[in-house]
A and B are shown apart, each in its own frame.
Chain A
Amino acid sequence: MCRDHGVQSMRWLLGVAFLLAWGAWPVSAAELVVQFTDGHGHAVSDAVVTLTSDQPASVTTPPQPAATRYIDQKHETFIPYVQILRPGDKVIFRNSDTTRHHVYSFSGIKKFEFVLRPGDSSPALVMDKVGIAAVGCNIHDHMSTYLFVSGATAVAMSDQDGNATLDNLVPGHYTMHVWHPQLHPGQAQPTQAVNIANDSDNPHVALALSLIPDPRMEMDDDD
C-alpha cells in the first residue's frame, strides 16, 4: 500500500496538528497493516496479530481502565468468535438464545464451567492471565469462542476482508505474532520481525495461514 508523498505529507501535518491538539505526548502515526489469506486465497477474519516491542522499556503504554466484554450466545453461536482482552479485563457470558448452554473452558488461563439458562448471564470473569482461552458449549459441540488475553503493545484482529491494522506505532523493532483459532495444531505460531522505521512508516504484510476447517461448521460425514 503505497501512498504518494503529497498525501503523506498532508497526513503528517494533520497528524502533527492532531498531536499538538492533544497535548503533551509525542503521538506516532506509524501503522502496520497485515492482510491474511488462507491456503486457498480467501480472506481470513478473526486472525489476531500482536506486536511486541523488542525494547519494551522504550515503549510505554498508559494504563487503561479494565474493560468488561460481553460474549453473547445466540442461535447456538458465541458472538464474537474471538475476543481480544487486556489482562484484567472482565468477560461476561450472556445467553440470548432459546436454549440452555453449558459453557466451559479447560484453558490454562482460566478454567470454568456453568450452565446458563436462556436470558441468564454469567458472573463476570476476570481474565488476569495472559493467554488464549478456548471456550465451548458442552451441549452444542460446534459452539466455540476464544478469549485472547494479551498485554502486547499493539493487538489487532483481522476483519472480514482479512485486514488487521495496527496504528499509533512507535518506531522501533517489534516482533509480530499471529494467531488464529484454526491454526494447524502442533505447528508453531507464525512470528515475524517488524521494523517501524519512523513515525510515518506504513508497512504492509501479507500472510498466508494454514488453517484447519472451522469446527463451528457442521461436521459432514463424507470425505
Chain B
Amino acid sequence: MQSMGFRLRLGLFFVATLVTVQLIMAALVYEVTRHALVAEGERELTANAEAFVAQMDDISRRVADNVQVLSLDYALRSAIAERDRGTVLSVLRNHGRRVGASRMLLIGLDGTVEADTGNAGNVLKRFPFPDLINNAYDRRTAAVVVMDGKASWVVVVPIYAPQPVGLVVVNVPLDDALLAHMQKLSALPRDIELAAQLTPGHWSVMARGDNRSDLTRSVAAVHGGLPWEPMLTRVDGKEYIVLAQHLKQPKNSAPVVAVLGYSLDEALRPFRSVVLAGIVLLGLGLGVGMLGAWLTARSVSRPIETLAASVRRIEAGDYRAPPSMPRRDEIGQLATAFGTMTAAVRQREEHIRHQAMHDSVTGLPNRVAAEATIDLALDTEDMTSGALLMIGLTRVPDIIKTLGHALCDRLMRDANERIRRVASGAYLARVTDAQFMLWLPGAGKPEAVAAALRLLDTLNEPYQETDISIDRLPSIGIAMFPADGSQAGMLLRHAEVAQFAASGSARALSFYEAATDPHRPERLSLMGDLREALDHNQLLLHYQPKLDLVSHRIDGAEALVRWNHPRLGWVPPDAFIGMAEDTGNIHRITRWALASALAQAQQWLEQGLQLHVAVNLSTRDLEDVDLPSRIRALLAIHGLPASCLTVEVTERAVIGERDTAIQILRRLADQGIGIAIDDFGVGQSTFAYLRHLPVSELKIDQMFVKHLAVDRNDQIIVRSIVELSHQLGYRVTAEGVENALALDYLASIGCDHAQGYFISHAIPADGFAAFIVGRDKTHA
C-alpha cells in the first residue's frame, strides 16, 4: 500500500513539476508576447495615424496640383473674369470629374459663393470656412470639413488672372470608398474609421475602412470620449488598441478625427498555433513523464516491497534469506546488505537463544531449558517413571568469596566432567550457580540411589589445582516421577527441597518427603487462614497434664494451640507457630491463648480443680511491653491469683539478653507469675545467663528424656540438670516421658514434674477433668 503511495507520490510530483513549469513558461511567454504586441501595436498605431495624416496630405497635394492646373485654364479664367457663370460651372464640373471631386465651388474674393456644382442654391451665401480662404493665398490649403452632414476633404486653390480673381474649392468626399482606396494603396490598418462630432459629445462615423468592428461607437460608449493616446480596450468582445488622430481642420468645421484600431487578437493569432503546439507538447511530455515516473517508481518500490515483506518475516522470526536481487545499484546494495543482516540477526538470535538456554561456564542447559526439555519428555506417552537428581555443591558461595569466580568456574567445569563420566547419556543441566540437575528417565528409586552414590563418590574427591585443594561437599536430593510431581517445575522444586534437607544431614542424600516439606504452598495461604481461624474461633487449646512426681497427682497443664483447619485438618503447631512468629500474628495467638487458658483455669476452679496453667510465649511476645499489664488484667478479670499462671519461653527467646525481654520477665515474675525455660539443654544457654533471669522452672528437652530408660549418658545429664537446678532454686520438669522406667527414674532423682505421652497426650479441656478423675482413681 505504502509503495503505491510512493509511486503515486513520485508520479504526481513529477507531473506537478512538469505541469507547473510548463504553465509558468506558457504564462510568461504569453505575457511577454502580449506586452510586446501591445507595445508594437501602439507604435504601429501611432505610426499609422501619422501615415494617415500624411496620406491625406498627399491627397490634398495631388488634388491641389490638379486644381492648380485647372486654375490656369485660360477659358476658366476668362469665364471667371467675365462673370460667365454658366461656363464657370461647366468647366468646374468637368474638372471636378477629372480630379475625383464630388463638388466644386467658386468663391469670390469677398468670400461669397459664386458657383457651386453641388448646390445651386448656395450661390451668394458666405463660404462657411473663411479661414481656409484667407490661408489659400499663402500656402496650399486643405482640410477635412463636415458639410451637410458629410465629411469631405476640401482643397482651396486661388485663381490668378493674373491677379486673384477667385478661389476654387474642391470637395473630395471622405467615404468608405476613399478609405478603402487608401488602405489598398498603403499599409493602413484594417480597422480605421473617420468620425465627426456633429453634435457636441457625440461622435458619428463618417467613413469606415474594410473593418467590421465598431471602433468609435464602442470606445466612445465605454470611455466617454476618444483616446488621443493609444489605449487598450475591448471592442465587440475582442481586444483592440485604439488611437484617435486629429485631422487638419478649419475653424468652423465640426471636429473630424481618424480612429485607428489595432486588433490584438489578430496579432496574437499566429501565436495560437504556438500555443497549440505547446499544449500538445505538454500533453505528450505529461504522458511520457508519468510513464517514466511510474516505471522508475516501480523499479524502486518493487524491491522495497520485497524487502519490506522480508522484514515482516524476520519480525515474525523467519530468518530465511531474502530473495536475492541481481542489481548493481543502490537497491541491489540494500538487498545484499539486508541478506547479510538477516544472516547476522539469525546467528545472533541463535547465539542469544543458546546463551539464554545454557550456562556459559559449563555449556550445560540452564534451568529454563531443563524444565522445557523435561516437560517435553514427560509429555510422551511411554514415560512412566523417572528420577530427578538435584546435585548441590553447597560450598560454592563460600568458594567464590574466598577464591573468586575464575577458580569456581574451573571447579564447576571439573564437576561437570566428573558427572558426565559417571552419568553419561543422562540429561544433565546446571540449574543454579551451585546446583546441577540430572534426569534419569525410566529410573526407579534403586537406580536413582545407585546413580546418586556414584555421583557422590566422584564429587567427594577434592578439586585440585596447583596448590589448592577444595572439598566440594556435594549433597543430592531426589524427586521421583510421577510420585513427587507430574511436571518438571514441581519435580525440580521438590528435588531442591530434598537436596536442602540432604545438605544438613550426614548421608548427603535424601529423597523428597512431602510430609517434611516445610515449603508446601499451602503455607502461603496459611497465615490468612490463621487470621480467619482466630476470628472464627477455629483455634483450640489442648492441655497436656503435668504430673507432680512427689504427690503423683496432676496439678497443672500446659496449654498447646491446636488448629483444626477446615481443609487441611489438624495443622501441626510447627507449621503455623513459626510462620505466625515471622508475620507478627503470634501476638494475637498468644493473647488468645492466655485469655482462653485463664478462662479455663477459672472454670476448673469453679469445678473444684486447682490447676496451674502454663502458656507458651514466643520471642516476639517478649517484645510486647504491654504484656505484663495485660496478663494482670486477665488475671483480675478471671479472679485468679498470679501464682496459678506460668509462662514458658524457650532458651532462644532469652539468649540474646535483650533488655526488653528481661524487663518483661521481671515484671511478670514480680507479679508472681512463674517463668519456665522450655526445651532446656538443647540450645546455647548457660547457667550464667539464667542467673540474671527471674526463672522459676526449667523444662528438660525431650531429647534427653526419650531414651532415659536405657541411655546412661542421658541419665547422667538429666540427674545433673535436676541437681543443679535445685541448687539454684529452680524447679525442674522433664518433657517427653514415654515409659514407666523413665518416669520412675525421674521420680528417683527428685525431678519435680513430668510431662509426656506416657502420662497423657494433650487433650481438650472438656476431657481434662474426666482424665484427672480417672487417673486419681487409678493411682490413688
Tell me which of A143, A184, A223 contacts B162 (CB under 8 A). A143
A146 contact set on B, CB distance < 8 A: 163
Q: Give Cα A215 to B61, complex, Å.
A: 19
- Which among B82, B109, B133, B161 has the highest number of chain A CB atoms within 10 Å? B161
Is B160 a contact partner of A141 (Cβ separation < 8 A)?
yes
Q: Is the CB of B139 within 8 A of A223?
A: yes
Smallest beta-carbon distance B584→chain A, Å? 138
Provide a sorted-by-A list of 27 A–B residue pairs whose CB atoms are within 8 angstroms: A106-B77, A106-B81, A107-B81, A134-B162, A135-B162, A136-B160, A137-B162, A138-B74, A141-B72, A141-B160, A141-B162, A144-B163, A146-B163, A184-B137, A185-B158, A185-B163, A186-B109, A186-B111, A186-B133, A212-B138, A212-B164, A213-B137, A213-B138, A215-B160, A215-B162, A221-B61, A221-B140
Asked if B161 contacts A134 (CB within 8 A), the reply is yes
Interface assignment of A181: CB less than 8 Å from any CB of chain B: yes
A-B pair number, CB within 8 angstroms: 51
Give the shortest distance, in Å, between A74 (CB) and chain B (any CB). 17
Interface size on B, residues (CB 8 A): 26
Q: Verify B161–A136 contact, CB threshold 8 A.
A: yes
Q: Contact residues of B with A, CB < 8 Å?
A: 61, 65, 68, 72, 74, 77-78, 81-82, 108-111, 133-134, 137-140, 158, 160-165
Q: Min CB distance, B62 to chain A, in Å?
A: 11
Residues of A within 8 A of B158 (CB): 185
Q: B111 contacts A106, CB within 8 Å?
A: no
> Which residues of chain A (44-73) have a CB below 8 Å from chain B?
none
- In the complex, the answer to whether B109 meets A185 with C-beta atoms within 8 Å is yes
Query: In the complex the two chains form, is B82's CB within 8 Å of A106's CB?
Result: yes
Contacts of B74 in A (CB 8 A): 138
Closest 3 CB pairs of A and B: A136-B162, A106-B81, A144-B162
Question: In the bound complex, how far is the Cα of B61 from the Cα of A216, in angstroms?
Answer: 21
- Across-interface contacts of A223 in B (CB, < 8 A): 139-140
Bitwise, A135-153 to B at CB < 8 A (1) or not (0) is: 1111001011010000000
Chain B residues near A144 (CB-CB < 8 A)? 160, 162-163
**Closest Cβ of chain B: how far from A133's Cβ, in Å?**
10
Q: Which residue of A lies closest to B162 (CB)?
A: A136
A146 to B74, CA, bound (A): 19
Q: Provide the residues of chain A in CB contact with B137, threshold 8 Å.
A: 184-185, 212-213
CA distance A223 to B136 in the complex (A): 11
B684 shortest CB reach to chain A, Å: 155
Chain B residues with CB under 8 Å of A106's CB are: 77-78, 81-82, 161, 165
Q: Give min CB distance, B55 to chain A, whole Å.
A: 16
* Complex CA distance for A144 and B109, rounded to whole angstroms: 19
Instruction: Count chain A CB atoms within 10 A of each CB in B78, B160, B163 and give the residue with the most.
Output: B163
Chain B residues whose C-beta falls within 8 Å of the C-beta of A212 in the assembled complex: 137-138, 164
Closest chain A residue to B57, Cβ basis: A223
Query: What is the minimal beta-carbon distance from A36 to any residue of chain B, in angstroms?
Result: 18
**Smallest distance from the beta carbon of A29 to chain B beta carbons, Å?**
37
A83 to B124, CA, bound (A): 34
CA–CA, A213 and B135, complex, Å: 11
Instruction: List which A109-165 residues lie within 8 A (CB) of chain B.
Output: 134-138, 141, 143-144, 146
Given pairs A185-B164, A186-B133, 9 additional interface contacts (CB within 8 A): A106-B77, A134-B163, A136-B160, A141-B160, A144-B160, A185-B158, A212-B164, A223-B139, A223-B140
Q: Please indicate which of the listed interface residues A143, A184, A185 has the most CB atoms of chain B within 10 Å of its own CB.
A: A185
Q: How far, in whole Å, are A144 and B72 apart by their CA atoms in the complex?
A: 14
Q: B-facing mask of A168-202, CB < 8 A → 1, else 0?
A: 00000000000001001110000000000000000
* Pairwise interchain contact A186-B110, C-beta atoms closer than 8 A: yes
Cα-based distance from A185 to B130 in the complex (angstroms): 12
Partner of A181, one of B65, B138, B163: B163
A70 to chain B, nearest CB (A): 19
Q: In the complex, which residues of chain B have a beta carbon less than 8 angstroms from the beta carbon of A143?
A: 162
- Residue in A closest to B140 when the chains form the complex, CB atoms: A223
Rounded to whole Å, the gap between the CB of B166 and the closest CB of chain A is: 9
Which residues on A sit within 8 Å (CB–CB) of B82? Answer: 106
Cα–Cα, bound, A9→B140 (Å): 56
Distance (whole angstroms) from the CB of A116 to the closest CB of chain B: 16
| A185 CA / B133 CA spacing, docked (Å) | 10
List chain B residues, Cβ under 8 A from A219.
68
CB distance from B360 to the nearest CB of A (A): 123
Q: Which residue of A lies closest to B133 (CB)?
A: A186
Chain A hits for B162, CB < 8 A: 134-137, 141, 143-144, 215
Question: Which residues of the other chain, B, contact A135 by a CB distance below 8 angstroms?
Answer: 162
The CA of A184 and the CA of B111, in the complex, are separated in Å by: 12
A98 to B296, CA, bound (A): 104
**Interfacial chain A residues near B140, Cβ < 8 Å:** 221, 223
Chain B residue, CB-CB nearest to A145: B162
User: Which A residue sits closest to B64, measured CB to CB?
Assistant: A221
Chain A residues near B72 (CB, 8 Å)? 141
Q: Report Cα–Cα, A135/B111, bound state, in Å.
A: 24
User: Which residues in B have their C-beta under 8 angstroms from that of A137?
Assistant: 162
Q: How many whole Å from B61's CB to the nearest CB in chain A?
A: 7
In the assembly, what is the distance between CA of A215 and CA of B136, in Å? 13
Residue among B65, B72, B134 with the highest chain A CB neighbour number at 10 A: B134
Q: How far is the CB of B156 from chain A (nearest CB, A)?
A: 12
* A216 to chain B: closest residue by CB: B162
Give complex CA distance A96, B716 in Å. Answer: 207
Residues of B within 8 A of A184 (CB): 134, 137
Whole-angstrom distance between the Cβ of B277 and the nearest chain A Cβ: 52
Complex alpha-carbon distance, A216 and B779, angstroms: 200
Contact yes or no, B65 A221, CB < 8 A? yes
Q: How far is the CB of A38 from chain B (nearest CB, A)?
A: 12
A106 to B140, CA, bound (A): 25
When distances are taken between beta carbons in the complex, the residues of chain A under 8 Å from B139 are 223
Q: Which residue of A lies closest to B111 (CB)?
A: A186
Closest to A108 in B: B81
A134–B161 CA distance with the chains assembled, in angstroms = 8
Complex alpha-carbon distance, A181 and B74, angstroms: 21
Tell me the smallest distance from the CB of A209 to a CB of chain B, in Å. 14
For A134, the closest partner residue in chain B by CB is B163
Report B-chain residues with C-beta under 8 Å of the C-beta of A213: 137-138
Candidate in B74, B109, B137 with the most chain A CB atoms within 10 angstroms: B137
A79 CB, min distance to chain B CBs, angstroms:
15
The 0/1 profile, CB within 8 Å of B marked 1, for residues 202-223 of chain A is: 0000000000110100010101
Q: For the complex, give the distance between the alpha carbons of A180 and B74 in Å.
A: 24
CA distance A213 to B77 in the complex (A): 20
> Which residues of A lie under 8 Å from residue B110 when comparing CB positions?
186
**Residue of B at shortest CB range from A188?**
B110
Shortest Cβ distance from A181 into B: residue: B163
Enumerate chain A residues within 8 angstroms of B65, measured Cβ to Cβ.
221
Name B136's closest neighbour in chain A (CB-CB).
A212
The smallest C-beta distance from A109 to any residue of chain B, in angstroms, reads: 12
The interface residues of chain A lying within 8 Å CB-to-CB of B138 are 212-213
Q: How far is the CA of A212 from the CA of B65 in the complex (A)?
A: 20
Q: A221 to B72, alpha carbons, bound, how many Å?
A: 16
* Complexed CA–CA distance, A164 and B420 (Å): 169
- CB nearest neighbor in B for A186: B109
Shortest CB distance A105–B (Å)? 9
1/0 per position for A68-110, CB-CB distance to B under 8 A? Answer: 0000000000000000000000000000000000000011000
Shortest CB–CB separation between residue A172 and chain B, in angstroms? 33
Min CB gap B71→A, angstroms = 9
In Å, the complex CA distance between A212 and B111 comes to 16
Q: Which residues of B contact A215 (CB under 8 A)?
A: 160, 162-163
Inter-chain CA distance A185–B108, complex, in Å, is: 9
Q: Can you name the residue of chain A whose Cβ is closest to the Cβ of B137? A: A212
B266 to chain A, nearest CB (A): 36
* A107 partner residues in chain B, CB cutoff 8 A: 81
B77 contact set on A, CB distance < 8 A: 106
In Å, the complex CA distance between A137 and B133 comes to 25
Q: When chains A and B are docked, how far (Å) is the Cα of A146 from the Cα of B163?
A: 9
A223 and B133 CA atoms in complex are apart in Å by 15
Residues of B within 8 A of A134 (CB): 161-163
Q: Which residues of A contact B108 (CB under 8 A)?
A: 186
Chain A: CB-nearest residue to B72: A141
